[in-house]
Amino acid sequence: MKVLVLNGPNLGTLGRREPEVYGTQTLADLEKLLNERARELDFALTCLQSNHEGQLIDWIEKEGVASDAIIINPGALSHYGLALADALRGSGKPVVEVHISNVFAREPERHRMVTAAAAKGVISGLGFEGYLAALDYLAASNG
């Protein structure tokens, strides 16, 4: 299975960004972890990160077509990114949305999740394990 893994705004600074919320591991650490699990599952991953909603949408349009499923952490775009939500819905691919922190235990403005409505499911608050759980889910459900 080919899986597109997208990380949105500010996730490129994992490791030094609010470590008390997001931990001390970097995006490179996360991608290494994901690639290791992908090898076990015989999945091919494309991991991309951007701070720009339009770039994420371009990738969903182009790379998404060649993928069987999408795992995305949209960062703050989750809470207001309607264009991103439309692109995810329009991809026709199964989408799993992941958040490192438990957004529901945080400020009220993070409880509104516009992209989540375009996802099959949302994993929030399990740290990097949430991305691994998303991969395992895709393996178990075959997309």
Query: What does R_g of the chain's alpha carbons equal in angstroms?
Result: 14
Per-residue contact flags (x/-) with ligand DQA for residues 75 to 114, judged by CB under 6 A: xx-x--------------------xxx-x------x----
- Bridge partner residues of 6 (DSSP): 48, 72
Per-residue contact flags (x/-) with ligand DQA for residues 41 to 80, judged by CB under 6 A: --------------------------------x-xx-x--
Print burial letters for 62-87: b (CB count within 10 Å at least 16), e (below 16).
ebbeebbbbbbbbbebbbbbeebbeb
Handedness of CA 41, 43, 46, 52 (dihedral sign): negative
> How far apart are CB 65 and ligand DQA at their closest, in Å?
25
> How far apart are CB 139 and ligand DQA at their closest, in Å?
22
22 in catalytic set: yes
Q: Total number of residues binding ligand DQA (CB under 6 A)?
A: 10
Q: What does DSSP assign to residue 10?
A: T
137 in catalytic set: no
Nearer to ligand DQA, 92 or 108 (CB): 108
Residue in 60, 62, 54, 66 with CA at minimum distance from that of residue 97: 60
> How far apart are CB 100 and ligand DQA at their closest, in Å?
4
Phi first, then psi: what are they for 129, rounded to 5°?
-55, -30
Residues that bind ligand DQA (CB under 6 A): 10, 73, 75-76, 78, 99-101, 103, 110
Which sequence positions are flagged as catalytic? Answer: 22, 99
